[in-house]
Structure 1
Amino acid sequence: MYLRRDLITPRVYQEVIFARCKEKNCLVVLPTGLGKTFIAMLIADYRLSKYGGKILMLAPTKPLALQHRESFARLFDIPEEKINTLTGELSPEKRAEVWKKSIIITATPQTIENDLVVGRISLEDVVLLVFDEAHRAVGSYAYVYIAKEYARQAKHPLILGLTASPGSNEEKIREIIRNLHIEHVEIRTESSPDVKPYVQGVKLEWIKVELPELYKEVRKLLREMLKDSLKPLKEAGIIDSYSPDLPKKDVLNAGRIINAEVARGNYALGRLMLYQAKAMKLHHAIELLETQGLSALRSYLGKLYNEGKRGKTKSAKELIQDPRMRKAISLLMQANELGLDHPKMDKLFELIKKQVEKKPNSKIIVFTNYRETSKKLASEINKLGIKAVRFVGQASREKDKGMSQKKQKEVLELFSQGVFNVLVATSVGEEGLDVPEVDLVVFYEPVPSAIRSIQRRGRTGRHRPGRVVVLMARGTRDEAYYWSSRRKEKAMFVTLKKVSEMVKREKQASLLGFMGTKAKEEAKHEKEPPKEEALPVKPIFVKKPKGIVVYVDSRELKSQVPKYLKELGAEIQVKTLDVGDYVVSEDVAVERKSANDFIQSLIDGRLFEQMGRLKDAYLRPIVIVEGQLYGIRNVHPNAIRGALAAVALDWGVPILFSNDAKETAQFIYLIARREQEERKKEVSLRGEKKALTLAERQRLIVEGLPNVSATLAKRLLKHFGSVERVFTATEEELMEVEGIGEKKAREIRKVITVPYVDEENEES
């Protein structure tokens, strides 16, 4: 026994789930905060005691993987150096070393997937594989591939999936169960008899506010504009209605339909893209007005105004020039002067003040969908004399810098210690991080997702009574989203039970089928006379042929292609390739381009430069274009056809087309087999890359500047004569070069002149 039961006692429902899941693949659906991880520990203890080997627990983020590692280290009587976390921050060599010496490993799935693809680790000795946040095991997420490889490699396999909510879609739940090879589903809610004694109860309430007249007037103007943008789409038969209440997904789908038609040569429909783009922008503007407030809407309309003024998009330009939009902007300016914002804001401040007055050391989480709103709310709450802090994701948005995982952890620790009363969180606080239990959770706006709604509520009511308040603006999307999430949540448990029963029936049917077959075989053998025991045949040992080897660029590990290549039997060698994405022989390299990447490289001028380098380095290079090439990015089909013709004729590089990553892998494997087995070609990198000339090196340096393509780099060097003069040129001098405007010149000078600051040191 490895688990220190003197430190923690299992609850009744945890013991029951453990007993049912210790020998068969299980999906455990249990509300946030009710000890899913401890169930995994009970099973891990049992499996290690029975088989030895390793335990692998996967979590979507590094902080959560580290948190699980800390839990195992605290509760398991195993040397701490044998309990480790694997993430992409460790070098591949170090990860292989850590894997060998560890008994318990927590890890991010992408790291394990990459190590499996290149054969760096084996799952043979893993006796329990835990998938935390198991609802992610759909599509091409890393969980799917890892589960497949585990079922194939492990000597004593057992899978445990953990989630608070797998969603309400039956097909998605079936996909999760199929992908994780689930044989049994354990479902608990706060009202389950064996869970109820441990839940303090969550008081759920919603507060409705009335939009002020000025809001309604702006809303009316925007809805009229939306209706006018939708009308041509309805007349063309692309959408069923031009009501401004038409769901956003229908407007998105309209764009896909128009793109597909243009790709087929129906260019007349191309004019409708303008109306579809306007409709999408207006849809978003109305949603911001109804659910967020004037600050968020003003910020968005400001971006549209700048887009339109610079002529960046025709849709933005037309919207800003519409007299109704000008009137709406004028009304927003009036509201700003009057100090008006969304009435939900005042209601939120009232709730927070009452909670802190009642209990000064209260912990409160406010969830909002938008960063702009989180910034405004945190600022205003601090003005009330109540300490608040934002909690956002890692990605940076324009001037709004994201939070590193280190910073996120630091903020959560300070919140847990009571340094801040209020955490204003975007969706990053819903899943995957250990957010401390709180007294009050406020949804600044409802979310139409059952998963997200359950995750948010799970932050309170674990050890003491909690309160959840949902703020809604009457007669807006807020109400629609709230009831949508409630409906989906109810549907989720009905669907889960239905699917769970289906899994049981399938298992029983397969077991009865097996027993029937076994009985028939036994009866058959009883009737047959005993045969003489055959003499053993001397085995013929055939020399195993050398496998098909494919060199893969390290950046390609993010795609699905290397996984499929490995499944086809290829031996993967990961390198950082200077030219091409896959090398299959000394003569043949393959450049894989997704449809989007092909279009982008055509737009920014990289395409033909890449073809030149590919042709210089390899005798017979190939380009594979993956996905639907036409009908994306509003690029005219003739421009795409012209680029394809130039690649094939001017550069002499053949182009193959594939539907998806699986077909791309099949192409590459077949080409590799032809080269290596039929033509007996060696697999080698052609000196990694042909040595660059001085001029090429100079162009490469200048291309490193922001928004400078290969063509623009040539222009700059021709104009200034040397790299040094390019780097010392003023903004005015840079603007003399064709293709460089005021903004681009400013960005180039900024990169060259601003002092370097180490980001890690800055964060610490």
Structure 2
Amino acid sequence: MLLRKDLIQPRLYQEVIYARCKERNCLIVLPTGLGKTLIAMMIADYRLSKYGGKVLMLAPTKPLVLQHAESFRRLFNLPPEKVVALTGEMGPEERARAWARAKVIVATPQTVENDLLTGRINLEDVSLLVFDEAHRAVGNYAYVFIAKEYRRQARNPLVIGLTASPGSSEEKIMEVIRNLGIEHVEVRTEDSPDVRPYVHGIKFEWVKVELPPLYKEVRKLLRDMLQDALRPLAEAGLIDSPSPDLPKKEVLRAGQIIGEEIAKGNHDLGRLLLYHAMALKLHHAIELLETQGLSALRVYLKKLYEEAKAGRIKASRELFRDMRMKKAISLLVQARELGLDHPKIDKLKELLREQLDKKRASKVIVFTNYRETAKKLVEELSRMGLKARRFVGQASREGDRGMSQREQKAILDAFARGDFNVLVATSVGEEGLDVPEVDMVVFYEPVPSAIRSVQRRGRTGRHKPGRVVILMARGTRDEAYYWSSRQKERLMVETIKRVNEMLRRERQTSLEVFVKPSEKEERGEEAWKVEERRGRGIIVYVDSRELKSPVVKKLKELGLKIEVKTLDVADYVVSEDVGIERKSANDFLQSIIDGRLFDQVKRLKDAYPRPLLIVEGQLYGIRNVHPNAIRGALAAVTVDFGVPVLFSYSPEETAQFIFLIARREQEERKKDVRLRSEKKALTLAERQRLIVEGLPYVSATLARRLLRHFGSVERVFTASVAELMQVEGIGEKIAREIRKVITAPYREDEE
């Protein structure tokens, strides 16, 4: 036995769940803070003792991976080097060595997915695979591919899914169950008899604030504009009414219908795209005003104004021509002069002051949906003398650098030590934060998601009684979102119990009602397995930038050997003669707009005797590109360059095309697989253009203009913002981005 029983004392419900799940694939649904991870460790101990091999635990974020790895090191009698944490920050070869020596691996799913695709690792001797935050196992998320490969490769497979909230719909829960191959669900709530003795009370408070008159005036102006934008959509029958209270999902659905109709040739509906875009922008502006405040709204309207001024976005131009928008902006200026902002800020200060007066060492997490609000709150709380820090994700946004993994861990460690007592977090803090003794959680705004609501409030009441405060602006989206999440939460619990009861009644014989595929699906699965066997021995070179594409996973499932390279030309190479460029419909349209398409096609034609372009997805109606422009581009590719074009409906069909072509080339025609670059070396002018194209927002066309204007690469790189703006197609934003890339100091942690 590897688990240190001297350091743990499992609770009764943990022992029961362990006994029921140690030999069958289980989804464990347990409220946050009640020890899902310990149950997984107990099962890991059993599986390693009985079957040997390795345990793999997947977690969606790097901080979570590090936390789980540290827990295994602390609670398992294993040398430290036998427990490894694998993330993208570790090099591929180092990851392969770590995998080979380890008994327990904790990793991000994207890392494992990439290493499976490239063949650096296999799952043959993994005797337990744990999916933390298992509700993510939907769609094209990496969990889905890894689970499928695990069932195919492992000698002694067992899957355990862990989640506090698998979803509120039966369809979503069943998708998770199917994708992970779950045979049994173990569910507990705070009210379960065996859990209740261990649940510390959480006190819920719903605090409503009243919007000031100036807010209401701005809100009315924006709502009137929204109603006018929605009216043409309602008149066309795309939405039920032009009410400004229409849910955003209904507006989005109208946009999908417009796109579908245009794709069918009904181009008259194209005129509604403008109103649809305006409605979405106004909807977001009102949401910011109601839930976040004037500061957040000002930032957003400034962005729209810059779009309108640059002439890039027609919807933004139309909004700023409206006198009501001008009046709203005038009121925002007036509010800033008066020092007026959302009343939630003052209420938050009051709540924190009250909590800290009651207990000076209190730890508080404030959740908000928006980075800009998190930044504003930290500034406001710091002014009143509180020690507050912001916690955001790793992605960088315009003017707002994300936090590296190292920075995230340092902040969590400092919060746990008590170096500061208020953590203002965006959604990145909702899953798996291992921060003990959090006394209060504040929702700066309700969220219309059962999963996120459960995750947020699970940050308190884990080790002792806690307090959850939900701030709401009266008569706004706040109230609607709150009631939406409560309804979804109730539905989630009922649905899980219904699923569990049905599975229990079936006695887990085959999961026929929920998991067993239909006869048609079984035939499809068998056909896929036949194709996989036929695909063995076939090699396809894949460009490293294609790894995120579902196509590569499908090729792997078909049994092809994937060799990942950084290709100069083509995305897939299946023989010495055939190079294939794959473009999603969106990328194809974007490459027409920015001028990349014909350059890429020419290079493909020069490099391979039999080049091929595959366009994947519906081309018409998804972007504001005229159908004749699309047809003209396709005609030029096929006629002027002589490159055939295949159309694919999905990544699965694209993979089948590549598979069949590769098999013909390698098995029937006995062609070798060999990489080629362009037949002739790049000219000096081509090399110069290539260098300039590396600058942000600079297409092939812009690169030519820059070089013609300045005469050399050196002059382009030394030009000032004002000089760059003299070139057609370069506005102030692009010019500043170019100068930023050229002049900013290089830092390793900003890669």
TM range (shorter): over 0.9
- Give yes or no for the alignment of 1:51 onto 2:51: yes
- C-alpha offsets along residues 346-393 of structure 1, whole Å, 9 cap, x if unaligned? 111100001111111111111111111111111111111111111111
The answer to whether structure 1 residue 657 and structure 2 residue 647 are counterparts is yes
Which deviations, in whole Å up to 9, do the C-alpha atoms of 1:591-640 show, x marking residues without a partner? 01111111111111111111111111111110111111111221111111
Instruction: Find the aligned partners of 1:502 and 1:113 in 2 and give their Cα distance.
Output: 33
Where does residue 563 of structure 1 map in the other structure?
553
How far residue 736 of structure 1 moved from its aligned partner, in angstroms, is 4.5
Q: How does 1:435-446 map to 2 (within 5 A)?
A: 435-446=435-446
Distance 1:755 1:211, change over 3 A: closer
Task: Find the counterpart in structure 1 of residue 308 from structure 2.
Answer: 308
What is residue 62 of structure 1 aligned with on the other side? Answer: 62
Question: 1:647: which partner in 2?
Answer: 637
Other-structure match for 1:680: 670
Once the two structures are overlaid, the 10-residue window that deviates more, 599-608 or 684-693, is 684-693
* CA displacement at 1:503 relative to structure 2: 2.3
Deviations 1:710-760 (A, max 9, x none): 1222233334443233334455554444433444444434433x2523243
Residues 350 and 91 (structure 1), Cα distance of their counterparts in 2 relative to 1, 3 Å cut: same
Name the residue aligned to 1:85. 85
Match of 2:171 in 1: 171
Is the 1:578–1:689 Cα contact (8 Å) retained in structure 2?
no
Match of 1:295 in 2: 295
Provide closer, same or farther for how the CA distance between residues 434 and 633 of structure 1 changes in structure 2, counting only shifts above 3 A.
farther
Counterpart position of 1:699: 689
Matches within 5 A, 1:535-574: 547-574=537-564
- Alignment map for 1:514-533 (pairs within 5 Å): none
Which residue is equivalent to 2:746? 757
d(CA) in 2 for partners of 1:690, 1:274: 46
Match status 1:248 vs 2:232: no
CA contact (8 A) 2:606 2:678 kept: no
Write the letter of the residue equivalent to 1:48.
L
Tell me the CA shift for residue 12 of structure 1: 1.2
Closer, same or farther: CA 690–143 of 1 in aligned 2, 3 Å: farther
Q: Aligned AA for 2:49?
A: S
The corresponding residue for 2:415 is: 415
Residue of structure 1 equivalent to 2:525:
none
Q: Which residue identity lines up with residue 757 of structure 1 in the other structure?
A: Y
435-444 or 199-208, which moves further after superposition?
435-444
Deviates more, 1:641-650 or 1:89-98: 89-98
- The 1:279/1:742 distance shift into structure 2, 3 A limit, reads closer
Given that 1:167 and 1:492 are in contact with CA atoms closer than 8 Å, whether structure 2 keeps it comes out as: yes
Q: Distance in 2 between matches of 1:544 and 1:257?
A: 41
Alpha-carbon shift at residue 42 of structure 1 (Å): 0.5
Residue 144 of structure 2 corresponds to: 144
Q: Aligned pair 1:617/2:607, yes or no?
A: yes
Partners of 2:91 and 2:328 lie apart in 1 by 55
Letter in 2 for 1:441: V
Q: Which has the larger displacement, 303-312 or 166-175?
A: 303-312
> 2:635 & 2:79 partners in 1: Cα distance?
63
Matched, 1:347 2:347: yes
- The DSSP-based 3-state class of the residue aligned with 1:590 is strand
SS at match of 1:592: strand
Between 337-346 and 130-139, the greater mean CA deviation after superposition: 337-346
Could you tell me how far apart the structure 2 residues matched to 1:505 and 1:661 are?
A: 38
CA deviation map 1:105-138 (0-9, x unaligned)? 1111111112222322221111111000000111
* Deviation of the 1:23 alpha carbon: 1.0
AA partner of residue 616 (structure 2): E
Aligned to 1:487: 487
- What is the match of residue 626 of structure 2? 636
Q: Which amino acid aligns with 1:673?
A: R
CA change 1:290–1:622 in 2 (3 A) is: same
**Counterpart in the other structure of 2:327:** 327
Secondary structure at the aligned position of 1:558 is classed as coil
* Structure 1 portions without partners, runs of 5+: 514-542
Structure 1 residue 292: deviation in Å?
1.0
Residue 596 of structure 2 corresponds to residue 606 of structure 1 = yes
Contact (CA 8 Å) 1:577, 1:688: kept in 2 or not? no
Confirm or deny that 1:588 pairs with 2:561: no
Given that 1:60 and 1:432 are in contact with CA atoms closer than 8 Å, whether structure 2 keeps it comes out as no
- Determine if contact 2:99/2:121 at 8 Å carries over to the other structure: yes
Please say if 1:671 is aligned against 2:648: no
- Between the aligned partners of 1:109 and 1:657, the Cα distance in structure 2 is 31
2:366 matched residue in structure 1: 366
Kindly tell me: are residues 130 and 508 of structure 1, through their superposed partners in 2, closer, same or farther at Cα, counting changes over 3 Å? closer
Match of 1:106 in 2: 106
Deviation at 1:546, TM superposition (A): 7.1
Are 1:356 and 2:356 an aligned pair? yes
Q: 1:730 to 1:10 in 2, by over 3 A?
A: closer
User: What letter matches 2:363 in structure 1?
Assistant: K
Larger Cα Rg: Structure 1 or Structure 2?
A: 1
1:339, distance to aligned residue in structure 2 (A): 2.1
Letter in 2 for 1:161: G
- What residue is the counterpart of 1:222 in the other structure? 222
Q: What is the rounded CA distance, in whole Å, between the counterparts of 2:56 and 2:681 in structure 1?
A: 45
Distance apart, 1:310 and its partner CA? 2.4
Instruction: State the number of aligned residues.
Output: 732
Corresponding residue SS for 2:547: helix
C-alpha separation in 1, matches of 2:145 and 2:131 = 12
